Amino acid sequence: MPSVKQNDQLDFSAILAASVHDMKNSLFLLLQAIENVANEVESPQPRRQLADIHYETQRLNTGLMQLLSLFREQRNELPMNSEEHFLDELADDLLANNEFYARHHGVELTAQALKDESWFFDHNLILVLLNDVIINALRYAKSKVHVQIGIDSLTQELVIEVSDDGTGYPQSMLDASRAGPQAMNLGSGRTGLGLYFAQLIAGAHTTQGKQGNISLSNDSELGGSLFTLRLP
């Protein structure tokens, strides 16, 4: 049986990007449908179950974006669209994306950002990164998750913190976060992939020789975990 000849002109990166874009559109419609159905349901238990479905759909959406970004990075084709964005608008986007799950699980989600202040970063990539952090914080929080967006005037860096009142990060995650992306154990599952993606996207933001970075700790003022993203 003759072998199938590979088309050298086939751009798998473009095909993957188009497929992910199409799947993201479908997932967006599914998320909207879940929210609409939840608004029609009066009993709290089904609404909570719908919120769980919403959560898993969000995770799938994030996973698709991570997959595409990591594939492009391996081919040195990761697009960086660093543009100026207002910090309070970023806070509003994060609240809008995660309020549904928080509301139906009794978790208070708040965000605070400097008004009329802006910074240069890739909005889509940073939004994917932070949504992943927030949705996991909501999953493990007891009752509160807070997002703080500000500027460190001493180091001239954008600082974004996500804190919760849960039990904190396990030691294995704290240890993994201190390793560079190349030392990350992707075999540890989605947690390892999420950390790798966060470090990769943070590090891709560079200005005058300075790189962005992330850090994890259990020093949250709320008593639980604290995720910190710094961008130059």
**Per-residue model confidence as pLDDT tens digits over 190-224:** 456 778 888 989 999 998 889 999 999 999 999 99
Q: Does any domain span residue 7? A: no
d(CA 54, CA 36): 11
Q: Does any domain span residue 159? A: yes
Count of domains in the chain? Answer: 2
> Domain ends where: 74, 99, 114?
74
Which pair of structure tokens corresponds to residue 130? 């932070």
Same domain, 108 and 126: yes
pTM: 0.78
In this prediction, residue 185 carries a pLDDT of: 54
Same domain, 59 and 145: no
Same domain, 86 and 188: yes
Q: Does any domain span residue 66? A: yes
Q: Per-residue confidence at 77, pLDDT binned at 50, 70, 90?
A: low
Domain range for 126 is 82-231
Q: Does any domain span residue 5? A: no
**Per-residue model confidence as pLDDT tens digits over 91-140:** 999 999 898 889 888 899 999 998 889 999 999 899 989 998 998 899 89
Q: Which residue has the higher pLDDT, 172 or 13?
A: 172
Same domain, 125 and 60: no
Q: Does any domain span residue 4? A: no
In this prediction, residue 50 carries a pLDDT of: 76
Q: Which CATH number goes with the domain that contains 173?
A: 3.30.565.10
Q: Give percent of the chain with pLDDT exceeding 90.
A: 41
Q: What residue ranges in the chain does DSSP mark as E strands?
A: 82-86, 108-113, 118-122, 144-152, 157-164, 206-207, 210-211, 213-217, 226-231
Cβ(145)–Cβ(102) under 8 Å?
A: yes
**Per-residue model confidence as pLDDT tens digits over 24-47:** 677 777 777 777 776 666 666 677
Q: Per-residue confidence at 152, pLDDT binned at 50, 70, 90?
A: very high
Same domain, 136 and 180: yes
Q: Does any domain span residue 217? A: yes
Which pair of structure tokens corresponds to residue 13? 């990166």
